[in-house]
Amino acid sequence: MPATCVFGAQWGDEGKGKIIDAMARDADVIVRYQGGANAGHTVIAGGAKHVLHLIPSGILHPGKLNVIGNGVAVDPLKFLEEVDGLRARGVRVDGTNLRLAGNAHVIFEHHKRIDQAGERWRGDGRIGTTGRGIGPCYADKASRTGLRVSDMLDPQRFRQRLQAALAEKNAQLTAVHGESALSLDEQLARYTGLGEKLRPFVGDTAAEVRRAFKDGRRVLFEGAQGAMLDIDHGTYPFVTSSNTGSDGVAAGAGFPAKWIQNVVGIAKAYCTRVGEGPFPSEDHGADGVRIREAGNEYGATTGRPRRCGWFDVLAMRYSLELNGADGWIMTNLDVLDGFEQIKVATSYEVGGRHHDEWPGALTNLADVKVRYESAPGWLADTTKVRRYADLPARARSYVEWIERLVGVPIVMLSVGPDRDQIVPRESTLGRATALSAGV
Ligand code: IMP
């Protein structure tokens, strides 16, 4: 895998953390390129559970270089908290194995306050954000009023820039949202000393990653959220504020798109979504509840119950094509172990028109009528299976049926949260290149 991008192919929460942890064994450099602490990548290693929000999942492997690229919205308090948490659990973290882009934008308290106030302001039209300040931080980046990590390294410059930012944000908080203003002194006290703590990690990460690649090191780009939450290609406005797939790598890591040789999507054997917005194959009945309980579908970042439903072939074909996926990994197959019948969304009807492809141009996906096909369940425990041939015949039929419908090879399956609960697979659709992932 000289340069591989792994991305979420649904609405986030596809189990990327665990897969990236497995693939990181074969990589030298692991890079986050977008999103921020809205993500929550759960990795269970050696019986310990690690939930990483900002730091790449590769940090759990000794000897790897982990990079937070310029496209990430960095909450410095969360970053340092995560560093401390990892160290407390015995993981080595320092400026040699963790790098932070000096030109990444910083999330401050005012971004979080405005994120949350904005949600209240939108009322029924709220997005259901994680409240982590992601959207307001990216908005400031685009407005060219944001502060970057490197600004925190110079206390005088930092003071000036934070003061200017707060003057505007306090006007917005008080006049528009009717909230109390933030005190400049308090905010300076909270953030000023952090620059020195960040300094050992900070550098020109884009140049560092390109140099590593040119030196023959294997680079793994770790997407956060999912393709259907992409700011440009997702279900706007119910999306996050970054380009979540392979489309985000070039800008968010300073790595030329044509250097990426492998793109791998991750998707669950069913679908979930947190927050508001279209989710055509959502199951509002008993099956949705069963999936939630069987899959423990509660947010790693916010604890919110996830909306649950069936695998959506149209959304999947769309997201894999959009991001140029060579192959994909199906996660949480075991969650369907107890289902007698498994449904799959195979076409839509909108305003009397039939759709076999994701109707991207439609603004009102709430009116979509979903046509399902179904397959009999396997009603057996798959969590101990490690070889594809050992899966129950009906589970293999389900996997191969979905693969044919989607038209992109499934190169691996995941059958539980643990590191080793992985089933590698040679696809009959052809082998996606260099997806050894150490298994
Ligand atoms: P934001 O990224 O906090 O602005 O939230 C925007 C939308 O993206 C909301 O629907 C969130 O629930 C969703 N979202 C953000 N991060 C994640 C994630 O890591 N997994 C799943 N959904 C997410």
Q: What is the pLDDT along the chain (439 residues), one digit of tens a residue?
A: 689 999 999 999 999 988 998 899 999 999 999 999 888 877 777 678 888 899 998 899 999 999 999 999 999 999 999 999 999 989 999 999 999 999 999 999 999 999 999 999 999 989 999 999 999 999 999 999 999 999 999 999 999 999 999 999 999 999 999 999 999 999 999 999 999 999 999 999 999 999 999 999 999 999 999 999 999 999 999 999 999 999 999 999 999 999 999 999 999 999 999 989 999 999 999 999 999 999 999 987 778 899 999 999 999 999 999 999 999 999 999 999 999 999 999 999 988 889 999 987 666 676 789 999 999 999 999 999 999 999 999 999 999 999 999 999 999 999 999 888 999 998 666 544 444 433 2
305 and 405 both lie in a single domain: yes
Q: Say how far apart CA 13 and CA 272 lie, in whole Å.
A: 8
**Read out DSSP for 92-125?**
--STTTEEEETTSEE--HHHHHHHHHHHHHHGGG
Ligand 1 centre to CA of 258 (Å) is: 28
- 25, 57 Cβ separation under 8 angstroms: no
362 and 231 both lie in a single domain: yes
Q: Is the peptide bond before 237 cis (omega within 30 degrees of 0)?
A: yes
Domain of residue 150, residue span:
109-200
Pocket test for ligand 1, best of 240, 268, 302 (most atoms within 8 A of CB): 240
152 and 38 both lie in a single domain: no
The CATH code of the domain that includes 291 is 3.90.170.10
- 3, 195 Cβ separation under 8 angstroms: no
256 within domain boundaries: yes
What is the rounded (10 degree) CA torsion for 257, 258, 259, 265?
60
91 within domain boundaries: no
- 30, 54 Cβ separation under 8 angstroms: no
174 and 229 both lie in a single domain: no
310 and 407 both lie in a single domain: yes
Q: Which of 21, 41, 75, 233 is catalytic?
A: 41
Pairing of strands 341-350, 369-376: antiparallel
User: Catalytic: 13?
Assistant: yes
Boundary (domain end) residue, out of 167, 200, 233: 200
The CATH code of the domain that includes 177 is 1.10.300.10
Pocket test for ligand 1, best of 274, 282, 297, 308 (most atoms within 8 A of CB): 274
Ligand 1 centre to CA of 185 (Å) is: 31
Boundary (domain end) residue, out of 166, 200, 234: 200
Is the whole-model pTM more than 0.85?
yes
Task: Give nearest CA residue, ligand 1 atom 15.
Answer: 38
Our answer on whether the CB atom of 242 is closer than 6 Å to any ligand 1 atom is no
Ligand 1 centre to CA of 90 (Å) is: 30
User: Catalytic: 41?
Assistant: yes
Our answer on whether the CB atom of 382 is closer than 6 Å to any ligand 1 atom is no
